[in-house]
Structure formats: structure tokens, C-alpha cells
Amino acid sequence: MTCGPVYKLLTEADWAAAEAAGATAAALDMADGYVHLSTGAQVRETARRYYSGIPRVRLLRFDPAALGDIRWEKSRGGEMFPHLYGPLEISKADAAWWLTPGPDGAPQFPEDV
């Protein structure tokens, strides 16, 4: 399956840990054994569901071809999501943003995402 860029959302604490380690290690990813990613069409809903009300959320964008073992697997509502089986090195991100909550509490996205 092909798509455009893939995205990773991180809390401030997860971002600080990723900066120190060079790779992400979010608790959910560690528990599931893969890194949860979203496509551009999926990332806003992921942010709304899991990151609403959080003061700052880090959004990272990656070229999936640069990441390695990405598998497309059914997730939320049976939709196919990209999952990375291996480390997500933050140095491979080609863009990053800080997102803050909008009036509804969900993270607000820049227009170019």
C-alpha cells in the first residue's frame, strides 16, 4: 500500500524522551510492539481522539520509504493504518510542528498538513 507522508503524534514528555534517545518510545507503542503512525487523512482524527486537551502535542512527518518495515494493518474501524516494526528515529522526520488545542480542545493543525 502506498500513500504520502506518515505522521507521529507525541506528548511533550514522549518528545523529550525521544530527543534524549534519538527514537520514540511511547508507552502504547512499546506495549503493542510497533510504532503507531497515521496517514495525512487519519492524523486529525487520531489527534482528536487521543490528544484532545493536551496543552502541546508534537507532530512529526516522515517519508515512509525512509523508515523501514511499515506494515498496513487494520485498526480503528477496520481502517488500514501504517505500523512501523522497528525504531522510529526522530532524525528521519522531514518536518515537525507543535500543536495546541483549538476551541473544541482538539489539537489544531497547520494548513499544510
DSSP bridge partners of 70: 84
pTM beyond cutoff 0.85 = yes
Give the pLDDT confidence of 6-22 residue by residue, as tens digits: 999 999 999 999 999 99
Q: What is the DSSP string of 47-94?
A: HHHHHTT-S-EEEEEE-GGGT--EEEEE-GGG-EEEEESS--BGGG-S
Any idea where the domains of the chain sit in the sequence?
Answer: 6-99
DSSP bridge partners of 89: 23
- In whole angstroms, what is the distance from residue 107 CA to residue 21 CA? 25
How confident is residue 23, by pLDDT bands cut at 50, 70 and 90? very high
DSSP bridge partners of 88: none
Spatial contact of 11 and 54, defined as CB atoms under 8 Å apart = yes
Residues 6+ apart with CB under 8 A from 92: 62, 63, 66, 67
Q: Does residue 48 have a pLDDT over 80? A: yes
CATH of 6-99, one of 3.40.50.300, 3.20.170.20, 3.40.50.2000, 1.10.620.20: 3.20.170.20
How confident is residue 113, by pLDDT bands cut at 50, 70 and 90? confident
